[in-house]
Structure 1
């Protein structure tokens, strides 16, 4: 189901976009003098700084300004109009499968912009204002320029993955250390000037450079180079360019920020916020779906809480994750609260796992249902927050508390695990008559499975924004589920939006 949904999402994004009549060019003309036209042409050719491809806008050659001034002015007007529409409303506007992107075409009406573009002596300045209409675009655009400068200092040679599982500080590796130093020097040119008496040694200056790189990328900054860090170092340098192009375009034409009480979970940053207007009143780390079991994007409402939940294991988890564990130790699995159910004469019946011939079981032959009893070792922990949806996604506690110390927390099968579930419980039950922390604790201590509806239901948005602006800078995280890559393909595949120029 998720594969089909992802395919539909990609096709919807990549389909050519036909603009509604209200967004089509309305015959914009340019009253600017020749100097203003030249500046406008230069600004259009620099649209790559805004994450757009100038080739999409049929910008006329400068020679045409002399050979056919009328056609040149008409073509320039077309190109400027099309670029302005994309700068204000976003180039990729067919955003099926992205409920987290909410655009409003009325937020930036085109008529006033077109009137200014037609009448001003400096249309390039009008285009620049359109490019920066969202306050976060300026820092994102600066980050894009920096990412392109890094690419220009490349290319980077891949660091071999063969060798010790983890490269430890102080170790030697004559093959990989020079490549590591060269890779980091692309981002920190000063590193290349530091003395390296032993090029094979993973010395202190190089360790510190790795720590800085890990911190920027959102990994644990310990200087140890394991499988995840090495794979990240080997990503193409232009992947950041791609991500920043997507993030700039996603901020164009957005609807006004929501003002109601709500929960937002940013999946690539793996954090949850409970917001009152624009003010976070609760902020915590979360664990999200790993890439092969991506947490879907959705907008839902949290409407109930379950205490001491049991876990009805989904079929995929049962076949892929738990079957091998039952095959290794069926008695141990039962001791940890996992119950096996079979179908006997149409009735679901508990089966003693130690009596099953596990050698005959495989992913394609597993006729059992698994449920885990409520308790301290239950995969859902002690609290489950229910938000009805067709994907069976919910938020919950977890017994694996140590995972929250990891900067990279894409470990779940799709649901959201909470770092501080009791604080979420307080927020969820706020406004529900008869409930407070003391009563909730008594219910948890009873060990009995029970639940309650939430009087003040909470909107929940699972969103995907890899680049966030913080203190004027940009924090970029890995494109965990390749949504940025899909978005950029849509930007580059979108139909050219210019009207036919005529004399």
Structure 2
């Protein structure tokens, strides 16, 4: 009987494939009835332990209520039905543990991909059916995805903080510097950090003074967040500190599910731009060849997630100002001082009698121009003040996003670097040029520098085109430690909401 039921489970696996190929949530009632053993290899006591493990799947970032597990009263009333229902729930839960619960690809998240074919369910189904201790198989499935152990620990810790009421917000009021005194805000800062920092919680309370104990705690927190470790708590740090504990819980929940069945990158050279971490990496054969800070789109002009290819680069690029930038950014400056705008290399064109003609911006009454019916085309010449700087990296896409140099170098010293209108500004564009031109005949870093200094506009097609991925990963695990960056676009919160689908009808009610 046991052998027959295990084979029934295996036979049902191909029938399940269409439902789970994209990581779709698989409620228990969606499983074919022939996939559910009347008697698997497990004893009744082992089945009860399996039920307990399904109930504990909230520790894995999944809602155990979604799997139709019968209530304890129902289990006691009808053990035969319960035995089958427990395995049904375990199979559905195991599918989500291995393949993820949220259906992908998502229209707004092309950076998220699942490779479920790399994790076939058939062997796992067989193990679940044949094991004398199927709860152990479910635990193995829970840890089969990378980083799950430290993420589970971080989830438990953050949920514990939230259960204690989280933390009280720290009011704004200027930067808190080491050695300063504030009888209201500094005790709140200490309480906020002590909620997560046991070293600070056990240290001497320094009252309203920003003393050495609190300074070291702030530095530990800054290092964990990946921001500048200077001990100063300003506007950006306060905003991060004041995010509710539940917000961080959702970030971890999203991170756990997004990792499930994520494809393993190949050994080829590629560029990864992590938007909320404000960082670019060029990676080849698992080794980081190049790394630099980047500036990304601000929340109201968010950088889109993309999987594209770098095909060419342009030296001394002119800039065709997008209409939104013209209306919202350039027009207010024109109203204040059109001559100053023109001095930065901006040129203005208008259609006159069907012909495009250049106009003098100082002769226009910009206060009378309706931004909703902006009649001008704006170009900025290449030069020192160009918004694109001296180098543009072309990654063809329908959003007209590219990587480029910038004259605004001071932003790279900021911990929060969401300031652009959507494109990616690079900290060290010449370093990227050096690697991107690898294999392109006749080109070297020295020639690239000469071309930049010539001030002439030119385009170079890359001999070796490079895959580029703009992705959104706020939760990273580095050397076993979890580091969480701000959810600047709220995408983690949106993903976490998708983890809570309508709950299925329970298999039986007690």
Task: Return the match for 2:281 from 269, 273, 276.
Answer: 273
Encode CA deviations 1:226-264: one digit per residue, 9 max, x unaligned. Answer: 222222221111212111111111111223432322111
Change (3 A) 1:39 1:185: same
In the alignment, what sits opposite 2:224? 216
In the alignment, what sits opposite 2:41? 31
Q: Is the 8 A contact 2:41 2:130 kept in 1?
A: yes
In the alignment, what sits opposite 1:312? 320
In the alignment, what sits opposite 1:332? 340
Q: When the two structures are aligned, how many residues end up with a matched partner?
A: 486
In the alignment, what sits opposite 2:157? 146
**Superposed displacement of residue 265, structure 1:** 0.9
**Superposed displacement of residue 307, structure 1:** 0.6
Is 1:228 aligned to residue 236 of structure 2?
yes
In the alignment, what sits opposite 2:179? 170
Change (3 A) 1:55 1:365: same
TM-score, with normalisation over the residues of structure 2? 0.89
CA–CA separation in structure 2 for the residues paired with 1:433 and 1:24 = 63
Change (3 A) 1:126 1:307: same
**Superposed displacement of residue 340, structure 1:** 2.0
- Unpaired runs of 5+ residues, structure 2, are 1-21
Deviates more, 1:146-155 or 1:80-89: 146-155
Q: Is the 8 A contact 1:78 1:499 kept in 2?
A: no
- Unpaired runs of 5+ residues, structure 1, are 1-12
CA–CA separation in structure 2 for the residues paired with 1:291 and 1:267 = 11
SS in 1 for 2:176: coil
Encode CA deviations 1:152-182: one digit per residue, 9 max, x unaligned. Answer: 3433222223xx3333333333332332222
**Superposed displacement of residue 352, structure 1:** 1.4
Q: Is the 8 A contact 1:14 1:493 kept in 2?
A: no
Q: Is the 8 A contact 2:272 2:281 kept in 1?
A: yes
Task: Return the match for 1:50 from 46, 52, 60.
Answer: 60
CA–CA separation in structure 2 for the residues paired with 1:302 and 1:67 = 63
In the alignment, what sits opposite 1:156? 167
Q: How does 1:67-82 map to 2 (within 5 A)?
A: 67-82=77-92
**Superposed displacement of residue 281, structure 1:** 1.4
CA–CA separation in structure 2 for the residues paired with 1:495 and 1:179 = 39
Deviates more, 1:203-212 or 1:417-426: 203-212
Change (3 A) 1:193 1:440: closer
Asked which structure has the greater RCO (Cα within 8 Å, sep 6+), the reply is 1
**Superposed displacement of residue 224, structure 1:** 2.6
Task: Return the match for 1:443 from 451, 462, 469.
Answer: 451
CA–CA separation in structure 2 for the residues paired with 1:294 and 1:490 = 21
Q: Is the 8 A contact 2:111 2:306 kept in 1?
A: yes
TM-score, with normalisation over the residues of structure 1? 0.90
Is 1:251 aligned to residue 251 of structure 2?
no
**Superposed displacement of residue 411, structure 1:** 1.2
SS in 2 for 1:166: coil
**Superposed displacement of residue 461, structure 1:** 1.0
Runs of 4 or more consecutive aligned structure 1 residues displaced over 4 Å after TM superposition: 13-19, 21-25, 498-502
Change (3 A) 1:25 1:492: farther
Deviates more, 1:142-151 or 1:183-192: 183-192
CA–CA separation in structure 2 for the residues paired with 1:23 and 1:374 = 64
In the alignment, what sits opposite 2:128? 117
CA RMSD in angstroms, aligned pairs only? 2.6
Change (3 A) 1:287 1:25: farther
Q: How does 1:122-141 map to 2 (within 5 A)?
A: 122-141=133-152
In the alignment, what sits opposite 1:83? 93
Is 1:237 aligned to residue 240 of structure 2?
no
Deviates more, 1:30-39 or 1:122-131: 30-39
Is 1:191 aligned to residue 195 of structure 2?
no
Q: Is the 8 A contact 2:105 2:113 kept in 1?
A: no
CA–CA separation in structure 1 for the residues paired with 2:26 and 2:360 = 58
SS in 1 for 2:494: helix
In the alignment, what sits opposite 2:7? none
CA–CA separation in structure 1 for the residues paired with 2:139 and 2:34 = 19
